[in-house]
Amino acid sequence: MTREEFQNEYGIIGKSVEMQEITDVVQQVAPTDITVLITGESGVGKEVVARALHTASNRAKKPLVTVNCGAIPEGLIESELFGHERGSFTSAVDTRKGYFEIADGGTIFLDEIGEMPAATQVKLLRVLENGEYMRIGSSAPRTSDARVIAATNKNLEQEVQQKRFRPDLYFRLRSVNILIPPLRNRREDIPVLIEHFIKEFSQKNNLAFRGFTDDATHTFMNYYWPGNVRELRNVIESILVLEKGKRVTEEDVQKYLQRAPVYGGERNLPVALNKSVEQAERELIYRALVDLKSDILELKQLLAHSGVTMVEEVGTVHREGNGALSIDDMERRLIARALERHRGNRRLAAQDLNISERTLYRKIKEFGLDVK
């Protein structure tokens, strides 16, 4: 099956290099029993990928059991996962099968794995290692042949550092780690997703759609999309229903977007949604730096064309006493620090800086940060 065929068959829409790479990984690992960890912000398509991994596997005819670890009360999660014997605790009036038993031969999708309580993490590790588990109230080991897929929008590495997540479980889960970047970092996907959702909703509801003006399209391309693909899908659905039969303008579109600043291009300021203040701040500083740098480049070019020579000091930020620290220097330090923070993990560092991994690789080369 070609990549396009696979994408159509399993509903993974996306033209960006990132989504193409993800599709290839999904296609490769789906037929295996390897545990897959899917990470990314809310609404990026983690469940879409999990579903594709199941339906493109030989387990497709057996159940895909989705467990939202964050939604089950701590005291109940083990009995939900592993089942219980009658009378094992007060409310256990009947024997109950656990999700691992139900998913036998199929797939169990552990969503929001970062919310799993420490005691349950140990038991999960055991199932992952040898398929063994016990029902609550029973000491007879059972085995489950369920393929495990886990997802989280938390930074699990950070959870491990802060001792909230077991490192052995983390390493076991991330045999294959699929990181889905936020929509704002793969904007090439926006038009194809829009097209896909328009088709979906106009067919389903028999709605006529007369298209977007160029300005409206521009707004879609530049918006920050804090809610990622889910938000885009909701916005398209609302517009199709509420603006039906008309050509949709920029003003129309604005009504459906969150009141985040839309400045155009990469100058969008990050919105502190689902993010620590610290991370949002770092992003802001980084963005400001990148903008400043491109302004200076533009200025230099302008001046070069007008025949005026430029003093070297422009492009340099002064620090009191310590001499000058160039913008390149500052950028280099920010990147070096992000890499340090994530112990050289480029994926996480890029995420932290809110730049694409590719940009980070380029910068690492540019600044010679890879030769240590």
Ligand X SMILES: Nc1ncnc2c1ncn2[C@@H]1O[C@H](COP(=O)(O)OP(=O)(O)OP(=O)(O)O)[C@@H](O)[C@H]1O
Applying CB under 5 A, the residues found at the interface with Mg ion are 46-47
Residue 240 interacting partner from Mg ion, ligand X, none (CB closer than 5 to 8 Å by kind):
none
Q: Would you say 47 or 168 has its CB closer to ligand X?
A: 47
Residue 13 interacting partner from ligand X, Mg ion, none (CB closer than 5 to 8 Å by kind):
ligand X
What does the DSSP 8-state code read for residue 171? H
Q: Among 6, 20, 32, 42, which residue interacts with ligand X (rule: CB under 6 A)?
A: 42
Contact flag: residue 230 with ligand X (CB under 6 A): yes
Q: Would you say 42 or 213 has its CB closer to ligand X?
A: 42
* x/- letters, 190..229, toward ligand X (CB under 6 A): ---------------------------------------x
Show the beta-strand stretches assigned E in the chain.
Answer: 36-39, 64-68, 83-84, 96-97, 107-111, 132-134, 141-143, 147-152, 176-179, 316-319, 323-326
Q: Among 59, 135, 166, 233, which residue interacts with ligand X (rule: CB under 6 A)?
A: 233
Name residues whose C-beta falls within 8 Å of residue 70's C-beta, 6 or more positions apart in sequence.
111, 112, 114, 115
* x/- letters, 143..182, toward ligand X (CB under 6 A): ----------x-----------------------------
Q: Which amino acid is at 231?
A: E
Q: Would you say 47 or 328 has its CB closer to ligand X?
A: 47
**What residues pair up with 67 in beta bridges, in sequence order?**
110
Smallest distance, ligand X to C-beta of residue 196, A: 6
Kindly compute the dihedral angle of the four CA atoms of residues 266, 19, 67, 69, in this order, to the nearest 10 degrees: -40
Q: Among 10, 43, 156, 182, which residue interacts with ligand X (rule: CB under 6 A)?
A: 43
The answer to whether 270 and 287 are in contact (CB under 8 A) is yes
Query: If we measure between CA atoms, which residue out of 347, 371, 359, 367 comes closest to residue 178?
Result: 347
Smallest distance, ligand X to C-beta of residue 167, A: 23
What is 31-62 written as a DSSP string? Answer: TS---EEEE-STTSSHHHHHHHHHHTSTTTTS
Smallest distance, ligand X to C-beta of residue 238, A: 14
Smallest distance, Mg ion to C-beta of residue 184, A: 18
Kindly compute the dihedral angle of the four CA atoms of residues 8, 11, 13, 18, in this order, to the nearest 10 degrees: -100
**Applying CB under 6 A, which residues contact ligand X?**
11-14, 40, 42-48, 153, 229-230, 233
